[in-house]
Amino acid sequence: MRRIPVAGATVGLLATLVIVLLHFGLSSYHQGLAARVAVYFIAILGLNILIGYTGQISIGHGAFMAIGGYTTAIMSADHHLNLIATLPLSFAITFACGLIVGLPALRLSGVYLALATFALAVSVPQFPLKFSKFTGGSNGMQTAQTPGNSWLYWVTWSCAGIGFVLAWLILRGRTGRAFRAVRDSALAAASSGVSLPIYKTLAFGISAAYAGVAGSLFVLVTNGFAQPNEFGVLLSLQLLIGAAVAGLGSLWGVLAGAAFIALLPTISASAPLVGSSHGQDVVFGLIVILIMLVLPNGVVGLLARLGQRRNA
């Protein structure tokens, strides 16, 4: 137990170094792609806290991304707030939204919670259309400044780093133990003095706040343009897929999950085998199913299994 922080810190330092060095090795275009990976990394990290650590499912995190994204767009376009300053605001607003959603979620679990959160994913993108006066409707909304790819790379990966450390601190401490207790046995958790309602709601809030910041950054990597189509149901489903690829309940796999959903469509589009644009969907769908069939615990599970084999 005591060795883990040391190993973790080493890996963390290495990861930081790689990210910093990578900035200088990548072209502007690839910096943009890497920034998208960071955005998904943050969102999946948040989703993983909810699903992997407290066992509550959400198919609605795209909705929180939409709320965060529109917060940034509106604050920048209409109130000329600095782009970076909109991030904590998104964090706070979506944290509150997460708590609000988390309260009714106390009564629901499993499939019912999946459906309720799915309802969010479907409904929230409709509101910018209804209230187009504030959101620009289908024509979307443009932030006052549009940062370049280098800026985006630094900001998104800094946020990803902060988010990761924060998640690690939360999960290794008392809160993390409480979360896991809630997941593994609600009854035992309650009897050992862990307040179920508080921790379940808290997990929703934290998780939504991560998605909110990811949503803000998502809008920034989309040239600062927020539009309802960006936050469709597919986004929520992609996050879920990313979390599954990552391996639920593990922080390190998140990078693989994020890279998977951010890069696979780009890669498979250029694969000669696939050719047709619809081939992308076929390949993506097939890989998702295969991963679930072959790698029940995601990439991390695979690594762990390989590790065991080597040790054996």
Site residues, another protein (CB under 8 A): 27-29, 32-33, 36, 51, 57, 59, 104, 107-108, 110-112, 114-116, 118-120, 122-123, 126-127, 129-130, 132, 137-140, 142, 146, 149, 218, 221-225, 227, 229-230, 232, 237, 240-241, 244, 248, 266, 269, 276-289, 292-293, 296
- In this complex, which beta carbon is closest to another protein, that of residue 71 or of residue 222? 222
Q: Cβ of residue 167: shortest distance to another protein, in angstroms? A: 19
Strand-pairing partners, residue 142, are 225
Question: What does the alpha-carbon distance between residue 127 and residue 17 come to, in Å, rounded to a whole number?
Answer: 42
Nearer to another protein, 101 or 311 (CB): 101
Shortest separation between residue 55's beta carbon and another protein, angstroms: 9
Structure tokens at 72: 């940034």
Give the whole-angstrom CA distance, residue 118 versus residue 112. Answer: 10
Q: What is the CA radius of gyration of the chain?
A: 19
Would you say 110 or 173 has its CB closer to another protein? Answer: 110
Measured CA to CA, the distance from residue 93 to residue 303 in angstroms comes to 37
Longest dimension (CA), the chain: 64
Quote the CA–CA distance of 90 and 97 in Å, as a whole number.
Answer: 10
Cβ neighbours of residue 188 under 8 Å, at least 6 residues apart? 181
Output 93 or 291, the one with its CB closest to another protein: 291
In order of 107, 211, 256, the CA distances from 175 in angstroms are: 21, 19, 25
Nearer to another protein, 16 or 139 (CB): 139
Nearer residue to another protein within complex by CB, 5 or 275 = 275
CB of 126 to another protein, least distance (A): 5
CB of 120 to another protein, least distance (A): 8
Residue 147 near residue 224 (C-beta atoms within 8 A)? yes
CB of 5 to another protein, least distance (A): 29
CB of 7 to another protein, least distance (A): 28
